[in-house]
Amino acid sequence: MMYNEVKLEKGMYHLAGKSFLQALEEADPQAQYAGSPLGQLDAYERQLKRFDIRVNGAGCDRVEKFFTTTESAVLFPEFVRRAVIKGMREAVLDEITAVVSRCDSNRYQGVVLTETAPYSTTAETVAMPDSTITESGTLVTLEKYGRTVKASYEAIRQQRLDVFALMLRRIGRELADSVTGAALTELVDSVTATTVSGLAYGDLAALYGSFTSFDMKAVLVSPAVMAQILVMDEMIEASSRDVTEIRLPFGTRLINCKQLDDDTVIGLDTDFALEQIRSSEVVLETDKLIDRQLDCIGISVNIGFRALMPGAVKVLEIT
């Protein structure tokens, strides 16, 4: 079956264990387009082409183009979801997450790694030291983060799709920022902070040196602390390098987190510090969107966090 023969219906959003895109790709497999221009599009993008819906560029359509037919209207919730997710991915949350775990409920029990002996040579007659992986004694409760979007169809139907997507991206970005605050709280609460009087470059260097089993790949600071660090003499010299990211002279990336207060600095190994747990992807009221009942649409996601490994996170408290 080719992409222009796929039957689109509301029920594709409600299949157990499948997303709308997965249902589409099952009906319109990518493999049959190998080597053709259509092979560069996913199944959803091929449906946009089928109904000649242009979501960006000079010839960008208006919202009402989705509702030309009952089948094309089925594509609208996925357009909204993609715009929201794009905004969420522009936040720092994904950058500080080591792994994303899926959970079928709002309670999650992870595992912990316990190691009491160093890694070294072992004599032939001596038992090798243990690395033990066990269930965590603490359950993580996933919290719901959401937003109600109010926009009547009559108010938005003449809006260009790229402008409407920009509004949705902003909602996604703010939603992810609120979730990031919970992630940072989990990181801070997982360790005992080191107190410093004021913040000097030497404190950042000492923080880097305190990572004995991990690498301090990122330092998270508030905008005010970021500004303070940027005018340090050592940073002024480093800023002359041709780089696309702000990094400390010893290579650690400096990340601006507006959710942090001005008294907290977090150093972390982004490969091992934080586990993000989700019970779902972004949830939309798809039937309302398809039926143009846009007056009150809920957008939500259920997420929890767990600090993964001791030693992968260090915190400075500035007094």
- Tens digits of pLDDT across the chain (319 residues): 688 889 999 999 998 888 999 999 999 998 898 888 888 999 999 999 999 999 998 899 999 999 999 999 999 999 999 999 999 999 899 999 999 999 988 899 998 888 888 888 888 888 888 889 998 888 999 999 999 988 889 989 999 999 999 999 999 999 999 999 999 999 999 999 999 999 999 999 999 999 998 999 999 999 999 999 999 988 876 655 555 688 999 999 999 999 999 999 999 999 999 999 998 888 888 999 999 888 888 899 999 999 999 899 999 999 9
Residue 127, in any domain of the structure? no
3-state secondary structure of 193: coil
| Tally of structural domains, the chain | 2
Cβ-contact 89, 170 below 8 angstroms: no
Is residue 266 within 8 Å of residue 220, measured between CB atoms?
yes
On whether both 292 and 145 belong to a single domain, the answer is yes
72 and 207, same domain (yes or no): no
Indicate whether 159 and 296 sit together in one domain: yes
Query: Are 199 and 78 in the same domain?
Result: no
CATH number for the domain harbouring residue 219: 3.30.2320.10
Residue 107 lies in a domain: no
- Residue 45 and residue 151 in one domain: yes
Is residue 286 one of the residues assigned to a domain? Answer: yes
Domain that holds residue 313: 183-276+308-318
Based on the fold, state whether residues 193 and 288 are members of the same structural domain.
Answer: no
* Phi–psi pair at 277, nearest 5 degrees: -115, 130
Same domain assignment for residues 202 and 79: no
Instruction: Tell me what pLDDT residue 127 has.
Output: 85
Question: Is residue 199 domain-resident?
Answer: yes
Provide the b/e sequence for 97-109 (b: ≥16 CB within 10 Å).
Answer: bbeeeebeebebe
Looking at the structure, tell me whether residues 200 and 73 fall in a common domain.
Answer: no
105 token code pair: 């409920």
What span, in angstroms and rounded, lies between the C-alpha atoms of 53 and 47? 9
Q: Could you tell me if residue 136 is inside a domain?
A: no
Dist CA 167 CA 149 (whole Å): 10
Residue type, 159: Q
- Asked if residue 105 belongs to a domain, the reply is no
Q: Verify that 196 and 152 share a domain, yes or no.
A: no
CB-count exposure of residue 132 (10 Å: 0-12, 13-18, 19+): exposed
Which amino acid is located at 147 in the chain? R
- Residue 170 region by backbone torsions, left for phi larger than 0, else alpha for psi between -120 and 50, else beta: alpha
* Same domain as 223, residue 251: yes
| Residue 315, beta-bridge partner list | 266
Kind and range of the H or E run holding 70:
helix 70-73
Do 232 and 197 fall within a single domain? yes
> Would you say 266 and 315 are in contact if contact means Cβ atoms under 8 Å apart?
yes
Token pair recorded at residue 299:
């957008």
CA–CA separation, 306 and 304 (whole Å): 7
Q: In this structure, what is the dihedral angle of CA atoms 223, 244, 253, 115, given to the nearest 10 degrees?
A: 140
The encoded tokens of residue 77 equal 């919730």
Distance CA 14, CA 23 (A): 10
- 76 and 164 inside one domain: yes
